[in-house]
A and B are shown apart, each in its own frame.
Chain A
Amino acid sequence: MTAGVVYAIEETRPVTGSVAKERPALHVPALRGWGWGLMSRMAILFGLPSFANILELHRVGINLSRYRDFAFPLFQRYIMPAKTGTFPGDLDVTARYTMLYELSFALLGAVVWLLLDRRRKHEAVIHEAGRLVARYVLAGMLFYYGGEKFVGDQGGWSLEPEHQMDLWGNNTGFEAMMAWLSYSTLYAWFAGWAEAGAGVLMFFRRFTTLAALLTLADMGMVWLINQSYWDSWGGAAFSPIHFMPYAVFLLLPQATRLADFFVRNTPTVTVFDRITPPQWFRVGSVALKCVVVPLIIYKEVIGSVYHGQAVHTYSPLHGVYEVVEFQRNGVVEPIASDFPRRWLQVAITGLNGTDNSRGDIYGRTIHDKNFSYDVYWPDLKLEMEGPTLIERARNARLRVSRTKAPEGDLRLQSSMMTRIKSSKKGTFGKVDTLGLLHYTRAGFDNVILEGTVEDEKLKVRLRRIPLESQPYFRIRWKPI
């Protein structure tokens, strides 16, 4: 490949026959000065590990990340020590430091590269390489985000039964935000298209500027929502911010043109560098693109497909129930404030292993105290957070198949929630059986739970509260 001369766009008009005989060229916005050279190199160094992962070159990606991160502990220790989060949910405060480190590393690397390459003869090629890395990393991310909304039921866990009993004021910002995002399929598709649409455009060099603008708008919106409800400058807020440098890099060469067009209302002209690769390279690139683009889309979306399958696999027990009769150790406890520990409502999840579950069986007492249990399943496969999440869908089907019979046993263990909240309730990885409840389903709406839990003999008669008749769900359209 060779970088051609710089010329103003007016000079490129095909005014003579000789122009038509030229080899087809790639036009790259012309950037002059060491600052632009630094940025192009930073884009490559910042994005290369993600670019390798996008192309399924995981080993390369992991190794690149490892080389890049070798100085991260020193960075954290001497340059920017991490502080503890101050807001609920602000758990991953390292996200901001990680990004700053990665940017600093890329900057340092770019400076060294520039010092070694002082003649800078290949600026156009390096710039195009930086743009390629940025475009494909962004496209992959945008398809991932879009896939979650199209087929992954993003945030659908927040509308599961166990989240429909507590006072709304006690919901976390994260729950409240997901209850909005996952409510409407129509809106999820709209948001998904805003993201995946920008991803589609990103695969075309012609639409790079438009795609980068849409990406900034999308990521800006994701940041705003995450920052407003989830965490403050933590992992959630930084997940979209992490991608913004790529979009800014793609847009900066067009900044003057954008301002001229949209604000100053003056004529706009772009100056390009020409790269004229040989024919075999062009043909090979097109062929490679035909393989890589579907691969990226598949890889970024398939996890959401299986996740969507898992969370839409429901046990027949799934629902919110009113406790119509409650016996503890043979004594009937009525609904009255004299019995503060009496169960008032019970939610049984889809038993599909949904994310952020509060427990497979989650309940609320008369005095607004919550309790939760997970059902123990001895023969589940390990659900790796791999690219496909296929085991998650299999496990969901397995769990649900165990509760299809009209009656059966549910062996209870402490839930993930109680394990996080209380040190008394067992530890991760250990089965701490708390009891066994025998369920009997009478029709669709009535369930009796009977058994011994935490040394108390319980008999609980439940009647389903049909969620679809509740105001929040009454007009909900959820085709998938």
Chain B
Amino acid sequence: MSQSVRNFAIRAGMIFGALVFLTHPFILRLGGVVQSLAGRVGFDPYPMQGEMLLIVLLSLLGAAIWRAVDKNGWDNETLWKLLLVETRFVLAAAMLLSGLEKVLHVQMPWPTAPDWIRPLREMPSLYYVKIWTGASGLHETMLGLTELAAGVCLLFLRTTTLGALIALISVGNNVMIVLGFDDPRVGSYWPFVQLAAMALLLALMDLKRVWEFFAFEDKPTTPTDARHHWASPTLQRLERTAKTAFVIVVLLASVPIVVRGLDARARSPLAGAYAVEDFSVNGQAVTTAAPDAARSRWRLVGIDDCRRFAIRTIDDRQLESTIVGPSVGRLRQHSECASMTSAETGTLTIAPADVRTLGLVRPGPQGELRYARRGATVQLEGKIDDATVVVRLRRIPDKDFNVNKYPNSF
């Protein structure tokens, strides 16, 4: 590779790393902006593919502009070292933040009642992987600890290879899961492929030493240089402050994760699965005299923390509505919902849900339901879809569902 091409590729790589830091769903999460931009240029059905393409194009364009304005800048060796440092820290940030999300059980939250009351086959496969992993505290925590270990190792030059190898195993597993469980056209593997490529790059940098370590045990190995030795005084000064700045950014980015983790401890007293004991429409009990109504009678209801209101009908369809809360925020959704529904009586406003990501689910009704909770019984009354319904629900204890009885589910 000629020096010029190499110089261009390194610069493009550095811009790519910076864009990954900004857009990655585990780090600063600004990918939505790029995705909506991609949507405008025809990537609406597959926004993640569009996001990746735009990131690559922006990296190439950025490298060209950078070279044009900085012809006599840093040499290739310095740029290459900078690229490796950047790769190490971007990967470390992703591993630390994703690990923290897993340890606090917010990346793949506990499956909720709307998913307890439908069969597996109705769920999209990747969706299932998430709720299945979320169903075990031990599993998700251990995955998180592995990522945290990789992240911590990546923070130090002398343990970079170990961190890169752990990250490669951890993220490589995720790449294979996403490749195996999702439609490849969607491109949901890109966030993991980005990280796996970074881990691979770092591991390859030390490949010779690692190979000799494992394959030639009779040969002594030498350590890597644990210092950067920057030629530029600017970089020497920068090195001292960059790590501190990085730690501050990661700490700031982890604040919402911790808040969400603490919030997840709260739970609405309404959340759970219910058997429908009585169901009447416009004052009439639903009977076989009206076959269509009889088939559509509610059989089970699953409610989570002020998001999903799921209805399972007698003929085994799942209808889902969204619970419209006046002030339910993203960070404190559970505790706000718990406080909103803590009274024994209240009102739920429901609207048809966006069911695109839920699998075989139809949009549910809309309207307002007054609820009255007494022990294990909940009475719902109100007008939905222009009909007045009265529904008596009996709470099915959570422990009656096997999903709440997995060993080590914390």
8 Å CB interface, B298-329 against A: 299-300, 314-316
Given contacts A163-B120, A336-B287, A472-B120, whether A265 and B295 have CB atoms under 8 Å apart is no
8 Å CB interface, B162-184 against A: 162, 169, 176-177, 179-183
Per-residue contact bits, chain B 111-132, to A (CB 8 Å; 1 contact, 0 not): 1010111111111110011001
- The answer to whether B120 touches A266, judged by C-beta atoms less than 8 angstroms apart, is no
A345 at the interface (CB under 8 A from B): yes
Given contacts A164-B119, A168-B119, whether A472 and B359 have CB atoms under 8 Å apart is yes
Chain B residues lying within 8 Å of A473, measured Cβ to Cβ, are: 121, 125
Assembled-state Cα–Cα distance A186/B180 (Å): 6
- The answer to whether B288 touches A336, judged by C-beta atoms less than 8 angstroms apart, is yes
Assembled-state Cα–Cα distance A366/B313 (Å): 10
Query: What total of A-B pairs shows CB separation below 8 Å?
Result: 211
Chain B residues lying within 8 Å of A183, measured Cβ to Cβ, are: 125, 180-181
Assembled-state Cα–Cα distance A79/B194 (Å): 53
- Of chain B, the residue at the smallest CB distance from A232 is B407
Chain A residues lying within 8 Å of B155, measured Cβ to Cβ, are: none
Per-residue contact bits, chain A 258-278, to B (CB 8 Å; 1 contact, 0 not): 000111111111101000000
Assembled-state Cα–Cα distance A320/B209 (Å): 55
- The answer to whether B223 touches A471, judged by C-beta atoms less than 8 angstroms apart, is no
Select A472's contact among B121, B287, B294, B299, beta carbons within 8 Å: B121
- Of chain A, the residue at the smallest CB distance from B216 is A206
- Of chain A, the residue at the smallest CB distance from B358 is A471
A226 to chain B, nearest CB (A): 9
Report the contact-size class of chain B (Cβ under 8 Å from the partner): 35 or more
Chain B residues lying within 8 Å of A10, measured Cβ to Cβ, are: 220
- Of chain B, the residue at the smallest CB distance from A268 is B221
- The answer to whether A472 touches B273, judged by C-beta atoms less than 8 angstroms apart, is no
Assembled-state Cα–Cα distance A167/B401 (Å): 9
Select B121's contact among A12, A229, A467, beta carbons within 8 Å: A467
Chain B residues lying within 8 Å of A265, measured Cβ to Cβ, are: 158-159, 223-224, 226
A131 to chain B, nearest CB (A): 13
B213 at the interface (CB under 8 A from A): yes
Chain A residues lying within 8 Å of B162, measured Cβ to Cβ, are: 262-263
- Of chain B, the residue at the smallest CB distance from A166 is B119
Assembled-state Cα–Cα distance A171/B218 (Å): 52
Select B128's contact among A180, A207, A477, beta carbons within 8 Å: A180
Stretch at the interface among B28-36, B89-97, B135-143: B135-143
Given contacts A88-B405, A169-B403, A267-B220, whether A475 and B121 have CB atoms under 8 Å apart is no
B192 to chain A, nearest CB (A): 13
- The answer to whether A87 touches B132, judged by C-beta atoms less than 8 angstroms apart, is no
- The answer to whether B119 touches A187, judged by C-beta atoms less than 8 angstroms apart, is no
Chain B residues lying within 8 Å of A84, measured Cβ to Cβ, are: none
Chain B residues lying within 8 Å of A224, measured Cβ to Cβ, are: 138-139, 142
- The answer to whether A262 touches B159, judged by C-beta atoms less than 8 angstroms apart, is yes
- Of chain B, the residue at the smallest CB distance from A165 is B119
- The answer to whether B120 touches A164, judged by C-beta atoms less than 8 angstroms apart, is yes
Assembled-state Cα–Cα distance A268/B124 (Å): 49
8 Å CB interface, B312-355 against A: 314-316
Assembled-state Cα–Cα distance A476/B407 (Å): 29
Select B220's contact among A262, A269, A337, beta carbons within 8 Å: A269
Given contacts A87-B405, A169-B117, whether A337 and B123 have CB atoms under 8 Å apart is no
- The answer to whether B121 touches A470, judged by C-beta atoms less than 8 angstroms apart, is yes
Assembled-state Cα–Cα distance A87/B138 (Å): 15
B215 at the interface (CB under 8 A from A): yes
B4 at the interface (CB under 8 A from A): no
Select B122's contact among A172, A187, A267, A471, beta carbons within 8 Å: A471
- Of chain A, the residue at the smallest CB distance from B225 is A265
- The answer to whether B119 touches A167, judged by C-beta atoms less than 8 angstroms apart, is yes
Assembled-state Cα–Cα distance A467/B273 (Å): 26
B64 to chain A, nearest CB (A): 37
- The answer to whether B315 touches A335, judged by C-beta atoms less than 8 angstroms apart, is yes
Chain B residues lying within 8 Å of A477, measured Cβ to Cβ, are: 180
- 16 pairs of residues in contact across A and B, judged by CB atoms under 8 Å: A167-B118, A167-B300, A173-B135, A179-B120, A183-B181, A207-B214, A210-B214, A228-B136, A228-B409, A231-B407, A265-B224, A336-B295, A368-B300, A467-B121, A470-B121, A475-B125
Chain A positions within 8 Å of B, measured between CB atoms, are: 9-10, 12, 27, 29, 87-90, 163-173, 176-177, 179-180, 183-187, 190, 206-207, 209-210, 217, 224-225, 227-232, 254, 257, 261-270, 272, 320, 334-339, 344-345, 366, 368, 467, 470-477
What would 11 more interface pairs be, CB under 8 Å, given A9-B220, A257-B213, A368-B300? A169-B116, A172-B402, A183-B125, A187-B179, A232-B407, A257-B217, A261-B209, A263-B159, A335-B291, A471-B122, A471-B359
Chain B positions within 8 Å of A, measured between CB atoms, are: 111, 113, 115-125, 128-129, 132, 135-136, 138-139, 142, 158-159, 161-162, 169, 176-177, 179-183, 209, 213-224, 226, 273, 279, 286-288, 291, 294-295, 297, 299-300, 314-316, 359-360, 401-409
Top-4 shortest CB links A-B: A169-B116, A184-B180, A187-B180, A265-B158
